[in-house]
């Protein structure tokens, strides 16, 4: 076999040989081996992935938050009151500390204020325009370049083996759908996320869905297994996350019968990406403890990945 051929035959070329890659390949081989004890029918091969920090970068800000920040700046002339109201004031003054101090509530407020009052189609257009022009502050590249190449390969590898791959993320569902097919090969109907309420109305006889500044569902922690049950109705066979917000999804996956794969992406690479377990974008503590105890797959970005982004 030529080297080129061998490289082509490896479905996970951006993964270093090691325990993490081994655990993934062994799992996939086991559940797809019709003559083995761990075989699972294709219809039950469901894999769920967190998005922020698991499939793409989430530092220094969730990408959706960077979008909300840019929207606040763009909309500020129409909202003079934002100059003296938090969390908007912090955004307009570039005061990251004050922004961090508003916590999850402040972040949600930013998202609600900037994502509401328009139809779902208008939102889609605005988000697409933003992705076409905005750039990541450190890598100076479009945010669509910030997908983790090894995870993109993992998604493709699972699909090639009959899995249906889903995103199950705290991110806004309509925001993620703008890029999910292009970045991950995941169609909109396989993206589950947080959502705002919408109102159906007829405008000159044409029905539209208007986005309201009110949270409908926050897809984090306990919300993840709940959403999986509501949207998918089957327990995942494999699940990946990167923080305690994914802990319940991993527990729910692990509690199924037969062989399962639970994975955590551990941000250990300050040089090529970021190094953190605790940040204002969440923390990886309890989930890591349980992962260690139960032998779940902990993926060290530094050690397990040959490259992190496709552009590297």
Chain residues that interact with a copy of itself, rule: CB under 8 A: 43, 46, 120, 164, 173-174, 177, 187-189, 191, 195, 198-200, 202, 206-207, 209, 216, 222, 225-226, 229-234, 248, 251-252, 255
| Residue 217 beta carbon to a copy of itself: minimum distance, rounded to whole angstroms | 8
Residue 7, H or E segment: helix 3-9
| Residue 204 beta carbon to a copy of itself: minimum distance, rounded to whole angstroms | 11
Residue 311, H or E segment: none
| Residue 147 beta carbon to a copy of itself: minimum distance, rounded to whole angstroms | 19
| Residue 261 beta carbon to a copy of itself: minimum distance, rounded to whole angstroms | 17
* Residue 303 tokens, joined: 């050690």
> Do 262 and 239 contact (CB within 8 A), yes or no?
yes
DSSP state of 52: B
Residue placing its CB nearer to a copy of itself in the complex, 43 or 84: 43
Residue placing its CB nearer to a copy of itself in the complex, 21 or 177: 177
> Do 253 and 262 contact (CB within 8 A), yes or no?
yes
| Residue 278 beta carbon to a copy of itself: minimum distance, rounded to whole angstroms | 24
Q: What is the residue whose two structure tokens read 């999850």?
A: 104
Q: CA-based angle 250:171:254, to the nearest 5?
A: 5
300 burial (CB, 10 Å; 0-12 / 13-18 / 19+) is middle
Q: What is the residue whose two structure tokens read 């993992």?
A: 154
């Amino acid at each position: 076999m030529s080297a080129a051929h061998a490289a082509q035959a490896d479905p996970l070329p951006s993964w270093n040989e090691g325990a993490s890659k081994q655990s993934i390949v062994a799992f996939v081989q086991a559940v797809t081996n019709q003559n083995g004890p761990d075989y699972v029918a294709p219809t039950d091969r469901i894999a769920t992935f967190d998005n922020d920090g698991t499939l793409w970068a989430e530092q220094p800000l969730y990408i959706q938050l960077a979008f909300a920040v840019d929207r606040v700046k763009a909309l500020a002339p129409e909202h003079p009151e934002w100059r003296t109201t938090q969390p908007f004031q912090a955004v307009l003054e570039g005061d990251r500390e004050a922004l961090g101090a508003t916590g999850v509530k402040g972040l949600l407020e930013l998202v609600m204020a900037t994502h509401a009052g328009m139809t779902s189609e208008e939102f889609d257009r605005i988000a697409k325009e933003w992705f076409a022009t905005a750039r990541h502050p450190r890598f100076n590249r479009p945010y669509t370049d910030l997908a983790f190449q090894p995870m993109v390969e993992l998604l493709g590898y699972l699909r090639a083996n009959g899995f249906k791959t889903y995103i199950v993320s705290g991110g806004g569902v309509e925001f993620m759908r703008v890029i999910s097919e292009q970045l991950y090969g995941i169609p909109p109907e396989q993206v589950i996320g947080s959502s705002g309420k919408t109102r159906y109305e007829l405008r000159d006889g044409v029905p539209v869905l208007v986005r309201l500044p009110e949270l409908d569902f926050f897809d984090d922690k306990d919300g993840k297994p709940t959403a999986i049950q509501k949207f998918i109705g089957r327990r995942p066979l494999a699940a990946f996350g990167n923080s305690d917000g994914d802990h319940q999804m991993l527990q729910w996956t692990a509690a199924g019968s037969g062989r399962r794969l639970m994975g955590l992406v551990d941000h250990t690479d300050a040089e090529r990406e970021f190094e953190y377990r605790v940040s204002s974008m969440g923390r990886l503590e309890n989930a890591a403890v349980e992962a260690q105890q139960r032998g779940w797959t902990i993926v060290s970005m530094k050690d397990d990945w040959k490259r992190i982004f496709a552009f590297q």
